[in-house]
Structure 1
């Protein structure tokens, strides 16, 4: 389908959207608002409190920024689609959505690698921490985490944009790995570059993260008492977020490989997990498990509750 010379793709991943469109909307809209508010609160707390201006919390704020961007790239279009008679997107728009989706997913892994290194230095090399995790080091990590995925995905999207489109039906309900199925052919150079990008922005960071945490846990195992408990408590949120991120990235790749095999309902469930858990899980985990963030968050909630009671009393 073409409109004013623009190739238009259809989303085929919804299940009975004509019948349950408003149900989809009532489920997705509160989730989107909660993602915006929770991640926004984490960013504001870290920005406004000087005792949170440490490398670990700066990386957490960067993850929350990624979650905000991720939600905004996907959810507004998704909310419009579930209330529309046709779920469509232009080919150029799909490329843009795919670009941001994978840039942010790769950036998350680089940030988790930076956080793993931060924990390694803090636990295994505490005397070198101030030197190893200086402001310059943090800036370098942030720059790499955002600009390496941007560069590599830009090359990928430019290559994809030059491919001829033969299939106008996308299997899912947003633009992800299943986009490769709409092209008439996949040239070898695009396949090689995609593999190189996958290894460079996913496989290598994951391997380095696992290696780093292995060293951390060996060090924790050899320590005793309070040192061990403190190290575990600071690493636990990062490890849980890491497991969630890797699991969701693996699910997305699985959809791209098995989209013609798995049923429509199973694909919908997997896609919803990819979209919901990460931007929702990160602020909950860091807000509840990181003591300094939770302390400021609890103070904020108590202050708002006190103001509310005071206003009611005045009335």
Structure 2
């Protein structure tokens, strides 16, 4: 193969560190993915089938869980298959598709969390205007933008990456990542770098917006007992999820661009996949445990299911 020939397959060299633990990792990964599907589906179905939960905050939460399933579906099935395969390869088209889904999953997560911060700001700082501001129509529009804008951003990223001529086909990760592909390019990647930095800046602006919202939230909540109670019940789980997602993404972005090759492959692998492990598992659990309405409804459904099972037995 010449240096500028068309790449058909990429090899995923991150699996070199898994040779001695394949069965263990396969079992843990399958268990992790099963838990992700279970906890997210439980929360999604609870919100969909309970009319009392058809409020903006819970609708946003439902979208967060749907996005968790969307993002992890692009990683876990391929990952567990590769663990038991002799060769860990992925097609060029499959690699770009995986990049698109994983990156859009990460940005949609942040967009939805920004919407949830705005929703809590209106609920606590402008309670009398809440139902007019967060109307059904506006909620639907906001959710649409929270999905369409990240998807459009990733279409641009993939379009730029697909135009690059590559001088290699080895990706030093467990999955396809845009920065790893760009580093294989033979020519200039200036356009990719600029667009990447613009997108990162755009989502840093999301973080700034969330921070400003919470500064106002905390200031307002401290003025009354009712405000403090509402903040504790609905904002604390959002803050925990936000810290969870932000830390996970920050680790991955910073390490992808500035990480040292001297770090062991096992550590690099963990840092690369933890944003596909922690947020999808912890987010629904945090909300399910802390939000009273969801916890009460889920406990009720479990008890009803147990009673029906006993009656059949």
Do both proteins adopt the same fold according to a TM-score greater than 0.5, normalized to the shorter chain?
yes
Q: State the TM bucket, normalised to the shorter chain.
A: over 0.9
The answer for the alignment partner of 1:270 in structure 2 is 271
Moved over 6 A (4+): none
Moved more, 276-285 or 172-181: 172-181
Q: Following the alignment from structure 2 to structure 1, what is the Cα–Cα distance between the partners of residues 234 and 108?
A: 22
SS in 2 for 1:142: helix
Q: Using a 3 Å threshold, how does the CA distance of structure 1 residues 204 and 261 change in structure 2: closer, same or farther?
A: farther
Q: Does 1:193 align with 2:195?
A: yes
The answer for the alignment partner of 1:250 in structure 2 is 250
Q: Tell me the alpha carbon deviations over residues 172-230 of structure 1, each in whole angstroms, 9 at most, x when there is no partner.
A: 10122433322224422221111112212x21111101111111011122x23243122
Length-normalised TM-score, structure 2? 0.94
- Following superposition, the deviation at residue 259 of structure 1 comes to 5.2
Kindly indicate whether the alpha-carbon contact (under 8 Å) linking 2:124 and 2:230 is maintained by their aligned counterparts in 1.
Answer: no
Kindly indicate whether the alpha-carbon contact (under 8 Å) linking 1:178 and 1:255 is maintained by their aligned counterparts in 2.
Answer: no
The answer for the alignment partner of 2:82 in structure 1 is 81
- Following superposition, the deviation at residue 18 of structure 1 comes to 3.0
Q: Does 1:180 align with 2:182?
A: yes
- Following superposition, the deviation at residue 136 of structure 1 comes to 1.5
1:303-314 equivalences in 2 (<5 Å): 303-312=304-313
Q: Tell me the alpha carbon deviations over residues 121-178 of structure 1, each in whole angstroms, 9 at most, x when there is no partner.
A: 1001000001110012111111111001111110110110110112221111012243
Length-normalised TM-score, structure 1? 0.93
Q: Following the alignment from structure 1 to structure 2, what is the Cα–Cα distance between the partners of residues 260 and 268?
A: 12
1:161-176 equivalences in 2 (<5 Å): 161-176=162-177
Q: Following the alignment from structure 1 to structure 2, what is the Cα–Cα distance between the partners of residues 136 and 259?
A: 48
The answer for the alignment partner of 2:99 in structure 1 is 98
1:132-143 equivalences in 2 (<5 Å): 132-143=133-144
Q: Tell me the alpha carbon deviations over residues 221-273 of structure 1, each in whole angstroms, 9 at most, x when there is no partner.
A: 2x232431222221000000001111111011122121534321210221232
Unaligned runs of 5+ in 1: none
Kindly indicate whether the alpha-carbon contact (under 8 Å) linking 2:17 and 2:265 is maintained by their aligned counterparts in 1.
Answer: no
- Following superposition, the deviation at residue 299 of structure 1 comes to 0.8
- Following superposition, the deviation at residue 73 of structure 1 comes to 0.9
Unaligned runs of 5+ in 2: none
Moved more, 5-14 or 160-169: 5-14
Moved more, 106-115 or 261-270: 261-270
